[in-house]
Structure 1
Amino acid sequence: MAAVVPCLVLAGIGWWLWPQQPASGPPHIAAGTVEADLLSPDSVSRVAGTTVVAGAQSNRPHAPLTVSPSACAVAAGPTTQSVYGQAWTAFVSAAYKDAGATGAYTVNQVIGVFPDSKRAEAAFSTLTEGLNACSSSTRTDQAGRTAKWTYRAQPAGQAALTWTAAQGGSANWACSHQARVSGTSLVQVAVCQAGDGLPAASKLAGKLARKVSR
Protein backbone atom coordinates (compact mmCIF):
# COMPACT_ATOMS: atom_id res chain seq x y z
CA MET A 1 0.00 0.00 0.00
CA ALA A 2 2.91 2.38 0.60
CA ALA A 3 3.48 2.65 -3.14
CA VAL A 4 -0.01 4.00 -3.61
CA VAL A 5 0.27 7.04 -1.36
CA PRO A 6 2.74 9.14 -3.42
CA CYS A 7 0.49 8.77 -6.45
CA LEU A 8 -2.44 10.45 -4.70
CA VAL A 9 -1.10 13.90 -5.57
CA LEU A 10 -0.82 12.84 -9.20
CA ALA A 11 -4.44 11.79 -9.11
CA GLY A 12 -5.59 15.39 -8.99
CA ILE A 13 -8.02 14.62 -6.18
CA GLY A 14 -7.14 18.03 -4.87
CA TRP A 15 -6.96 18.19 -1.11
CA TRP A 16 -3.36 16.95 -0.74
CA LEU A 17 -2.23 19.89 -2.84
CA TRP A 18 -3.39 22.61 -0.48
CA PRO A 19 -1.51 24.15 2.47
CA GLN A 20 -2.32 22.48 5.74
CA GLN A 21 -3.51 24.26 8.83
CA PRO A 22 -1.05 24.36 11.75
CA ALA A 23 -1.15 21.11 13.72
CA SER A 24 -0.48 22.70 17.10
CA GLY A 25 -3.95 21.83 18.36
CA PRO A 26 -7.60 21.59 17.34
CA PRO A 27 -8.66 24.79 15.55
CA HIS A 28 -11.41 26.99 16.94
CA ILE A 29 -14.55 26.48 14.86
CA ALA A 30 -16.98 29.38 14.87
CA ALA A 31 -20.68 28.57 14.77
CA GLY A 32 -22.38 29.36 11.46
CA THR A 33 -19.25 28.87 9.33
CA VAL A 34 -18.73 26.24 6.65
CA GLU A 35 -16.15 24.62 8.90
CA ALA A 36 -18.87 24.06 11.50
CA ASP A 37 -20.91 22.13 8.92
CA LEU A 38 -18.22 19.50 8.35
CA LEU A 39 -18.90 16.04 9.71
CA SER A 40 -16.66 15.34 12.69
CA PRO A 41 -13.97 12.65 12.62
CA ASP A 42 -16.05 10.64 15.11
CA SER A 43 -19.13 10.85 12.89
CA VAL A 44 -17.14 9.80 9.82
CA SER A 45 -15.48 6.97 11.76
CA ARG A 46 -18.86 5.51 12.71
CA VAL A 47 -19.93 5.37 9.07
CA ALA A 48 -16.56 4.21 7.78
CA GLY A 49 -16.16 1.46 10.34
CA THR A 50 -12.58 2.57 10.98
CA THR A 51 -11.04 5.37 13.02
CA VAL A 52 -10.09 8.51 11.09
CA VAL A 53 -8.42 11.69 12.30
CA ALA A 54 -8.43 15.22 10.89
CA GLY A 55 -5.78 16.06 8.32
CA ALA A 56 -5.26 18.87 5.80
CA GLN A 57 -7.84 21.62 5.40
CA SER A 58 -8.24 24.51 2.96
CA ASN A 59 -10.53 27.51 2.58
CA ARG A 60 -10.26 27.83 -1.20
CA PRO A 61 -10.37 25.53 -4.22
CA HIS A 62 -7.05 24.72 -5.85
CA ALA A 63 -6.22 26.06 -9.31
CA PRO A 64 -7.27 23.91 -12.29
CA LEU A 65 -5.03 20.90 -12.89
CA THR A 66 -3.00 20.22 -16.01
CA VAL A 67 -3.82 16.74 -17.25
CA SER A 68 -3.73 14.70 -20.43
CA PRO A 69 -6.10 14.91 -22.18
CA SER A 70 -6.98 18.48 -21.21
CA ALA A 71 -10.71 17.68 -21.36
CA CYS A 72 -10.20 15.65 -18.16
CA ALA A 73 -9.40 18.66 -15.94
CA VAL A 74 -12.78 18.36 -14.17
CA ALA A 75 -12.64 14.59 -13.70
CA ALA A 76 -9.07 14.78 -12.38
CA GLY A 77 -9.76 17.79 -10.16
CA PRO A 78 -13.44 17.72 -9.09
CA THR A 79 -12.74 19.91 -6.06
CA THR A 80 -10.71 22.54 -7.93
CA GLN A 81 -11.58 25.82 -9.64
CA SER A 82 -12.45 23.76 -12.73
CA VAL A 83 -15.74 23.04 -10.93
CA TYR A 84 -16.10 25.69 -8.22
CA GLY A 85 -14.76 28.60 -10.26
CA GLN A 86 -14.39 31.98 -8.55
CA ALA A 87 -18.00 32.82 -7.71
CA TRP A 88 -18.22 30.94 -4.40
CA THR A 89 -18.78 32.92 -1.20
CA ALA A 90 -17.44 30.32 1.25
CA PHE A 91 -15.44 27.16 0.80
CA VAL A 92 -13.85 24.43 2.87
CA SER A 93 -12.12 21.17 2.01
CA ALA A 94 -11.13 18.80 4.80
CA ALA A 95 -9.24 15.52 4.50
CA TYR A 96 -9.48 12.83 7.18
CA LYS A 97 -7.01 9.96 7.23
CA ASP A 98 -6.80 6.60 8.93
CA ALA A 99 -5.51 6.85 12.50
CA GLY A 100 -2.39 4.90 11.59
CA ALA A 101 -1.51 7.47 8.89
CA THR A 102 -0.83 4.67 6.39
CA GLY A 103 -2.84 6.22 3.56
CA ALA A 104 -4.91 3.06 3.35
CA TYR A 105 -8.15 4.95 4.06
CA THR A 106 -8.97 8.61 3.49
CA VAL A 107 -12.15 10.66 3.47
CA ASN A 108 -12.52 14.12 2.01
CA GLN A 109 -15.38 16.56 2.49
CA VAL A 110 -15.90 19.69 0.40
CA ILE A 111 -18.48 22.45 0.87
CA GLY A 112 -18.67 25.27 -1.65
CA VAL A 113 -21.28 27.95 -0.96
CA PHE A 114 -22.54 30.13 -3.82
CA PRO A 115 -24.58 33.36 -3.89
CA ASP A 116 -27.66 31.45 -5.06
CA SER A 117 -28.89 27.96 -5.90
CA LYS A 118 -28.61 28.54 -9.67
CA ARG A 119 -24.85 28.96 -9.40
CA ALA A 120 -24.58 25.88 -7.21
CA GLU A 121 -26.57 23.90 -9.79
CA ALA A 122 -24.38 25.31 -12.58
CA ALA A 123 -21.26 24.01 -10.79
CA PHE A 124 -22.99 20.62 -10.40
CA SER A 125 -23.69 20.61 -14.15
CA THR A 126 -20.05 21.48 -14.88
CA LEU A 127 -18.98 18.52 -12.75
CA THR A 128 -21.45 16.18 -14.45
CA GLU A 129 -20.44 17.23 -17.96
CA GLY A 130 -16.74 17.03 -17.11
CA LEU A 131 -17.05 13.47 -15.85
CA ASN A 132 -19.07 12.45 -18.90
CA ALA A 133 -16.32 13.88 -21.14
CA CYS A 134 -13.51 11.82 -19.63
CA SER A 135 -12.92 8.12 -19.14
CA SER A 136 -9.26 8.29 -18.09
CA SER A 137 -6.45 10.79 -17.53
CA THR A 138 -2.71 10.90 -16.89
CA ARG A 139 -0.84 13.33 -14.66
CA THR A 140 2.90 13.83 -14.47
CA ASP A 141 4.56 15.27 -11.36
CA GLN A 142 7.66 17.46 -11.20
CA ALA A 143 9.85 14.39 -10.86
CA GLY A 144 8.49 13.02 -14.12
CA ARG A 145 6.44 10.24 -12.52
CA THR A 146 3.08 9.54 -14.11
CA ALA A 147 -0.15 8.11 -12.77
CA LYS A 148 -3.16 7.03 -14.80
CA TRP A 149 -6.68 7.14 -13.41
CA THR A 150 -9.91 5.86 -14.91
CA TYR A 151 -13.33 7.32 -14.12
CA ARG A 152 -16.70 5.63 -14.10
CA ALA A 153 -19.74 7.80 -13.42
CA GLN A 154 -23.22 6.54 -12.70
CA PRO A 155 -26.12 8.31 -14.44
CA ALA A 156 -26.68 11.57 -12.56
CA GLY A 157 -29.91 11.80 -10.64
CA GLN A 158 -31.66 14.84 -9.25
CA ALA A 159 -30.25 14.20 -5.80
CA ALA A 160 -26.68 13.11 -6.44
CA LEU A 161 -23.82 12.42 -8.84
CA THR A 162 -21.79 9.31 -8.02
CA TRP A 163 -18.55 8.17 -9.60
CA THR A 164 -15.38 6.17 -9.01
CA ALA A 165 -11.78 7.12 -9.80
CA ALA A 166 -9.54 4.04 -9.99
CA GLN A 167 -5.77 4.26 -9.93
CA GLY A 168 -3.96 2.16 -12.51
CA GLY A 169 -1.59 -0.45 -11.14
CA SER A 170 -2.94 -0.25 -7.60
CA ALA A 171 -4.92 -3.50 -7.40
CA ASN A 172 -8.34 -2.79 -5.90
CA TRP A 173 -7.60 0.74 -4.61
CA ALA A 174 -9.94 3.54 -5.73
CA CYS A 175 -11.68 6.75 -4.67
CA SER A 176 -15.47 6.70 -4.54
CA HIS A 177 -17.15 10.09 -4.88
CA GLN A 178 -20.57 11.59 -4.46
CA ALA A 179 -21.64 15.20 -5.08
CA ARG A 180 -24.92 16.86 -4.14
CA VAL A 181 -26.49 20.30 -4.35
CA SER A 182 -27.91 21.43 -1.03
CA GLY A 183 -29.57 24.84 -1.25
CA THR A 184 -26.86 27.25 -2.39
CA SER A 185 -24.04 24.75 -1.75
CA LEU A 186 -22.30 22.08 -3.79
CA VAL A 187 -21.00 19.43 -1.41
CA GLN A 188 -18.75 16.48 -2.19
CA VAL A 189 -17.47 13.46 -0.30
CA ALA A 190 -14.74 11.08 -1.45
CA VAL A 191 -13.78 7.81 0.23
CA CYS A 192 -10.48 6.29 -0.91
CA GLN A 193 -9.73 2.70 0.01
CA ALA A 194 -9.08 -0.79 -1.29
CA GLY A 195 -12.56 -2.08 -2.02
CA ASP A 196 -15.97 -0.54 -2.53
CA GLY A 197 -16.20 2.86 -0.87
CA LEU A 198 -19.43 3.91 -2.60
CA PRO A 199 -21.82 2.96 0.24
CA ALA A 200 -19.82 5.00 2.75
CA ALA A 201 -19.40 7.93 0.34
CA SER A 202 -23.14 8.01 -0.36
CA LYS A 203 -24.09 7.87 3.31
CA LEU A 204 -21.58 10.55 4.28
CA ALA A 205 -22.63 12.83 1.41
CA GLY A 206 -26.25 12.53 2.50
CA LYS A 207 -25.36 13.41 6.09
CA LEU A 208 -23.23 16.35 4.95
CA ALA A 209 -25.94 17.70 2.62
CA ARG A 210 -28.54 17.53 5.38
CA LYS A 211 -26.23 19.32 7.79
CA VAL A 212 -25.43 22.07 5.30
CA SER A 213 -29.13 22.64 4.51
CA ARG A 214 -30.14 23.22 8.13
Structure 2
Amino acid sequence: MVNYAVLGRGSVGNIVGAPMGWESVFTEPFQAYAVDLPVCNNWADIGLPEVYNDPDLASFNGAITQTSATDQTHYVKQAVGVFASNDAAGRAFHRVVDRTVGCSGQTTAMHLDNGTTQVWSFDGGPPTATDSAWTKQEAGTDRRCFDQTRLRENVLLQAKVCQSGNGGPAVNVLAGAMQNILGQ
Protein backbone atom coordinates (compact mmCIF):
# COMPACT_ATOMS: atom_id res chain seq x y z
CA MET A 1 0.00 0.00 0.00
CA VAL A 2 2.84 2.41 0.73
CA ASN A 3 3.87 2.51 -2.96
CA TYR A 4 0.68 4.36 -3.78
CA ALA A 5 1.44 7.14 -1.30
CA VAL A 6 4.27 8.35 -3.53
CA LEU A 7 2.88 10.34 -6.44
CA GLY A 8 4.21 9.88 -9.97
CA ARG A 9 5.79 12.67 -11.97
CA GLY A 10 2.60 13.50 -13.87
CA SER A 11 0.72 14.17 -10.65
CA VAL A 12 3.70 16.03 -9.19
CA GLY A 13 3.90 18.20 -12.31
CA ASN A 14 0.22 19.07 -11.98
CA ILE A 15 0.74 20.06 -8.34
CA VAL A 16 3.81 22.27 -8.93
CA GLY A 17 2.42 23.66 -12.19
CA ALA A 18 5.40 22.67 -14.33
CA PRO A 19 6.32 19.65 -16.45
CA MET A 20 8.50 17.16 -14.58
CA GLY A 21 10.58 15.17 -17.05
CA TRP A 22 12.63 12.97 -14.71
CA GLU A 23 11.99 10.83 -11.67
CA SER A 24 13.80 8.31 -9.52
CA VAL A 25 12.13 6.07 -6.97
CA PHE A 26 13.87 4.51 -3.99
CA THR A 27 12.95 1.97 -1.34
CA GLU A 28 15.60 2.69 1.30
CA PRO A 29 16.21 5.89 3.27
CA PHE A 30 19.45 7.62 2.25
CA GLN A 31 21.54 10.69 3.02
CA ALA A 32 23.82 12.13 0.32
CA TYR A 33 25.38 15.05 2.20
CA ALA A 34 26.94 16.29 5.43
CA VAL A 35 26.11 19.57 7.19
CA ASP A 36 28.46 21.71 9.26
CA LEU A 37 25.69 22.35 11.80
CA PRO A 38 24.37 18.96 13.01
CA VAL A 39 21.17 20.45 14.50
CA CYS A 40 20.05 21.17 10.91
CA ASN A 41 20.78 17.69 9.52
CA ASN A 42 17.17 16.47 9.66
CA TRP A 43 15.88 19.68 8.06
CA ALA A 44 18.48 19.64 5.27
CA ASP A 45 16.64 16.83 3.47
CA ILE A 46 13.85 14.29 3.91
CA GLY A 47 13.76 10.49 3.74
CA LEU A 48 16.85 10.17 5.93
CA PRO A 49 18.18 6.99 7.58
CA GLU A 50 18.56 8.87 10.89
CA VAL A 51 14.79 9.45 10.86
CA TYR A 52 13.38 6.28 9.30
CA ASN A 53 15.82 3.53 10.29
CA ASP A 54 14.05 1.65 13.07
CA PRO A 55 13.57 -2.07 13.80
CA ASP A 56 9.82 -1.46 13.40
CA LEU A 57 10.01 0.12 9.91
CA ALA A 58 7.76 -2.18 7.88
CA SER A 59 8.11 -0.50 4.48
CA PHE A 60 9.59 2.62 2.95
CA ASN A 61 9.14 4.32 -0.40
CA GLY A 62 10.36 7.57 -1.84
CA ALA A 63 10.66 9.47 -5.09
CA ILE A 64 12.62 12.37 -6.50
CA THR A 65 11.03 14.25 -9.38
CA GLN A 66 12.61 17.17 -11.23
CA THR A 67 12.35 19.25 -14.40
CA SER A 68 14.82 17.00 -16.26
CA ALA A 69 17.76 14.73 -15.48
CA THR A 70 20.07 17.77 -15.47
CA ASP A 71 17.63 20.54 -14.47
CA GLN A 72 16.41 21.05 -10.90
CA THR A 73 14.44 24.26 -11.55
CA HIS A 74 11.55 22.36 -9.99
CA TYR A 75 12.63 19.62 -7.59
CA VAL A 76 10.26 17.49 -5.52
CA LYS A 77 11.06 14.73 -3.06
CA GLN A 78 8.62 12.42 -1.28
CA ALA A 79 9.25 9.88 1.48
CA VAL A 80 6.79 7.56 3.22
CA GLY A 81 7.55 5.10 5.98
CA VAL A 82 5.02 2.64 7.36
CA PHE A 83 5.89 1.34 10.81
CA ALA A 84 4.72 -1.73 12.71
CA SER A 85 3.19 0.49 15.41
CA ASN A 86 2.02 4.03 16.04
CA ASP A 87 4.73 4.33 18.72
CA ALA A 88 7.49 3.51 16.24
CA ALA A 89 6.19 6.12 13.79
CA GLY A 90 6.01 8.60 16.67
CA ARG A 91 9.65 7.94 17.52
CA ALA A 92 10.60 8.65 13.89
CA PHE A 93 8.62 11.92 13.98
CA HIS A 94 10.47 12.94 17.12
CA ARG A 95 13.81 12.19 15.45
CA VAL A 96 12.87 15.04 13.11
CA VAL A 97 11.38 17.55 15.55
CA ASP A 98 13.50 16.92 18.67
CA ARG A 99 16.83 16.86 16.84
CA THR A 100 16.19 20.09 14.89
CA VAL A 101 15.35 22.34 17.86
CA GLY A 102 17.57 25.38 17.36
CA CYS A 103 17.96 25.02 13.58
CA SER A 104 15.43 27.75 12.71
CA GLY A 105 17.31 30.96 11.95
CA GLN A 106 20.60 29.14 11.32
CA THR A 107 22.71 29.02 8.17
CA THR A 108 24.94 26.07 7.38
CA ALA A 109 27.04 24.63 4.60
CA MET A 110 25.71 21.43 3.06
CA HIS A 111 28.46 19.30 1.51
CA LEU A 112 26.90 17.06 -1.15
CA ASP A 113 28.36 13.63 -1.92
CA ASN A 114 28.97 14.80 -5.52
CA GLY A 115 31.62 17.22 -4.21
CA THR A 116 29.64 20.46 -4.37
CA THR A 117 28.88 22.64 -1.38
CA GLN A 118 25.71 24.67 -0.97
CA VAL A 119 24.85 27.14 1.79
CA TRP A 120 21.31 27.13 3.16
CA SER A 121 19.41 29.20 5.73
CA PHE A 122 16.61 27.50 7.66
CA ASP A 123 13.33 28.81 9.03
CA GLY A 124 10.48 26.99 10.72
CA GLY A 125 7.91 27.37 13.44
CA PRO A 126 7.30 25.00 16.34
CA PRO A 127 5.82 21.63 15.40
CA THR A 128 2.44 20.38 16.51
CA ALA A 129 2.06 16.89 17.96
CA THR A 130 1.77 15.48 14.43
CA ASP A 131 3.01 18.09 11.93
CA SER A 132 6.20 19.99 11.24
CA ALA A 133 6.93 22.45 8.43
CA TRP A 134 10.05 24.39 7.56
CA THR A 135 11.83 26.11 4.69
CA LYS A 136 15.40 26.43 3.59
CA GLN A 137 16.74 29.12 1.25
CA GLU A 138 19.92 28.79 -0.77
CA ALA A 139 22.34 31.65 -0.12
CA GLY A 140 22.46 34.31 -2.84
CA THR A 141 19.44 32.93 -4.70
CA ASP A 142 15.64 33.06 -4.58
CA ARG A 143 15.59 29.24 -4.49
CA ARG A 144 13.74 27.84 -1.51
CA CYS A 145 12.67 24.38 -0.40
CA PHE A 146 9.39 23.94 1.44
CA ASP A 147 9.22 20.84 3.63
CA GLN A 148 6.48 19.10 5.58
CA THR A 149 6.56 16.10 7.88
CA ARG A 150 3.27 14.50 8.92
CA LEU A 151 2.71 11.76 11.49
CA ARG A 152 -0.51 9.84 10.81
CA GLU A 153 -1.03 6.82 13.06
CA ASN A 154 1.71 4.36 12.04
CA VAL A 155 2.85 6.35 8.99
CA LEU A 156 5.45 9.11 8.70
CA LEU A 157 5.26 10.99 5.43
CA GLN A 158 7.50 13.80 4.21
CA ALA A 159 7.22 16.10 1.21
CA LYS A 160 9.63 18.70 -0.18
CA VAL A 161 9.17 21.20 -3.04
CA CYS A 162 12.18 23.26 -4.17
CA GLN A 163 11.88 26.13 -6.66
CA SER A 164 12.22 29.86 -7.07
CA GLY A 165 9.42 31.69 -5.32
CA ASN A 166 6.78 30.26 -3.03
CA GLY A 167 6.46 26.48 -3.05
CA GLY A 168 4.42 26.52 0.15
CA PRO A 169 1.02 25.94 -1.46
CA ALA A 170 2.42 23.15 -3.65
CA VAL A 171 4.03 21.25 -0.77
CA ASN A 172 0.80 21.52 1.21
CA VAL A 173 -1.20 20.04 -1.69
CA LEU A 174 1.45 17.36 -2.26
CA ALA A 175 1.54 16.26 1.39
CA GLY A 176 -2.26 16.30 1.46
CA ALA A 177 -2.47 14.14 -1.66
CA MET A 178 0.04 11.66 -0.20
CA GLN A 179 -1.98 11.53 3.01
CA ASN A 180 -5.27 11.05 1.14
CA ILE A 181 -3.84 8.12 -0.83
CA LEU A 182 -2.93 6.45 2.46
CA GLY A 183 -6.51 6.87 3.62
CA GLN A 184 -5.27 8.84 6.61
TM-score range, shorter chain: 0.7 to 0.9
Aligned residues: 181
TM-score norm. by structure 2 comes to 0.86
Whether 1:127 aligns to 2:122 is: no
1:99–1:133 distance in 2 versus 1, CA, 3 Å: same
Whether 1:52 aligns to 2:39 is: no
Instruction: List aligned pairs for 1:130-149, cutoff 5 A.
Output: 130-134=99-103, 135-141=106-112, 145-149=116-120
Tell me if the contact between 1:78 and 1:127 (Cα under 8 Å) persists in the aligned partners: no
The corresponding residue for 1:14 is: none
The corresponding residue for 1:89 is: 58
Runs of 4+ in 1 over 4 A off after TM superposition: 141-145
Deviations 1:47-103 (A, max 9, x none): 211122441221111158532123332222432112112331111110111258521
1:204 paired residue among 163, 174, 179:
174
1:75 paired residue among 40, 43, 51:
43
- Helix, strand or coil at the partner of 1:46: helix
TM-score norm. by structure 1 comes to 0.75
Instruction: List aligned pairs for 1:4-83, cutoff 5 A.
Output: 32=1, 34-63=2-31, 65-83=33-51
In the alignment, the residues of structure 2 paired with residue 105 and residue 146 of structure 1 have an alpha-carbon distance, to the nearest angstrom, of: 19
Unaligned runs of 5+ in 2: none
Percentage identity across paired residues of the two chains: 24
1:174 paired residue among 144, 161, 180:
144
In the alignment, the residues of structure 2 paired with residue 102 and residue 142 of structure 1 have an alpha-carbon distance, to the nearest angstrom, of: 18
In the alignment, the residues of structure 2 paired with residue 168 and residue 122 of structure 1 have an alpha-carbon distance, to the nearest angstrom, of: 32
- Helix, strand or coil at the partner of 2:100: helix
Unaligned runs of 5+ in 1: 1-31
Q: What do you get for the CA RMSD once the two structures are aligned?
A: 2.3
Q: Deviation at 1:37?
A: 2.5
Whether 1:150 aligns to 2:118 is: no
Paired residue type of 2:61: V
Deviations 1:159-196 (A, max 9, x none): 52111011112x21011111111221100110010001
Q: Deviation at 1:213?
A: 3.0
In the alignment, the residues of structure 2 paired with residue 141 and residue 42 of structure 1 have an alpha-carbon distance, to the nearest angstrom, of: 28
Tell me if the contact between 2:3 and 2:61 (Cα under 8 Å) persists in the aligned partners: yes
In the alignment, the residues of structure 2 paired with residue 186 and residue 193 of structure 1 have an alpha-carbon distance, to the nearest angstrom, of: 24
**Structure 1 range deviating more: 79-88 or 69-78:** 69-78
- Helix, strand or coil at the partner of 1:74: helix
Which one has more relative contact order, counting CA pairs under 8 Å at least 6 apart? 2
In the alignment, the residues of structure 2 paired with residue 141 and residue 64 of structure 1 have an alpha-carbon distance, to the nearest angstrom, of: 6
Paired residue type of 1:103: Q
In the alignment, the residues of structure 2 paired with residue 100 and residue 140 of structure 1 have an alpha-carbon distance, to the nearest angstrom, of: 21
- Helix, strand or coil at the partner of 2:175: helix
Whether 1:189 aligns to 2:165 is: no
Q: Deviation at 1:44?
A: 2.1
In the alignment, the residues of structure 1 paired with residue 67 and residue 114 of structure 2 have an alpha-carbon distance, to the nearest angstrom, of: 27
